[in-house]
Amino acid sequence: MSPNLPNVLESHLIINSLELDAASLLAADTELSKQQIKQAMNKGAVWLTRGKQTQRLRRAKRALKLGDELHLYYNHQVLAHKVDAAELIFDGGQYSIWYKPYGMLCQGSKWGDHTTINRYAETHLSPDRPAFIIHRLDRAATGLVLIGHSKKTTAALAKLFELRLLDKYYQVIVEGQFNLGQQESVTIGTDVDGKAACSHAKLLQYDAERGRSLVQVKIESGRKHQIRIHMESIGYPVVGDRLHGVAKEDELNLQLTSCYLKFTCPITDEIKEFELPQRLRPKLSAC
């Protein structure tokens, strides 16, 4: 980035001539190089409005029409951000299961989508397919994410989440000796943002030296940050939770991982069951 250019800028152009391509037009309007514009396109920061439809423009050579509108949302910090690679767990053709690493997003913004799990799937699956988000994990959470590759299948799988016809559980590492060493499940019914929410938590392992517990959590509802809020509400904040816990800046990443999914495949009617490999799960020994 040139020291003379701002780190954040926007450009909005109406196409009134077809002599130049999109990258050339935006470069001339912003003084960014064509290469910088092309990189921004690839990372989802350039949009094309045609009629009532607006979508990301990724190819500089895409033919334009008179009256089209170009929109550039350039944020150097966003575009320079990198995350660890996702890992493909299962490819079912019409949908796939991925391991989402820490920091990877489940939703992009107008400033880009190159660090999202669905964009990663689009650019790493063979053969290439569109990728649609079905459910979300927090940016700081890790684990299994289900991605759809057709609108019909995506809608069918999303319906399973909506109707709670999909079994899932998470594993978290929390501060303290959870449930006083008992193995039975604890039900937590604290409201989340004024809405009813229910979680069931069970101790898996306790590390007396560090004073931390590995806990399995199943949720009946899907409120934002539900597990983090529920565990903190009963005195066992999730390790690494800088929002709801007491984590310090130099501590570990959030120790919350989606580990298990089970559902009836809407294509084959077969029961599908996916477990995250142990090597990708939270470990007390690492805390």
What total number of domains does the chain contain?
Answer: 3
Angle at 119 between CA 280 and CA 144, to 5 degrees: 25
DSSP 37: H
Residue 211 sits in a domain of what CATH number? 3.30.2350.10
What pTM did the predictor assign?
0.90
Residue 276 belongs to some domain of the structure? yes
Which pLDDT score is estimated for 246?
66
Angle between helix 22-30 and helix 34-42 axes, rounded to 10 deg: 120
Which pLDDT score is estimated for 223?
85
Same domain, 60 and 118: no
Same domain, 156 and 194: no
The CB density around residue 268, as the number of other CB atoms within 10 Å, is 10
Same domain, 114 and 53: no
Taking a C-beta distance cutoff of 8 angstroms, is the pair 176, 236 a contact? yes
Residues of the chain with pLDDT under 50: 1
Q: What is the dihedral of CA 190, 192, 198, 199, to 10 degrees?
A: -90
Amino acid identity of residue 122, one-letter, is E
Residue 3 belongs to some domain of the structure? no
Taking a C-beta distance cutoff of 8 angstroms, is the pair 199, 216 a contact? no
Same domain, 68 and 95: no
Among 145, 163, 181, where does a domain finish? 163
Same domain, 281 and 169: yes
Amino acid identity of residue 190, one-letter, is T
Taking a C-beta distance cutoff of 8 angstroms, is the pair 74, 141 a contact? no
Residue 55 sits in a domain of what CATH number? 3.10.290
Among 140, 163, 186, where does a domain finish? 163
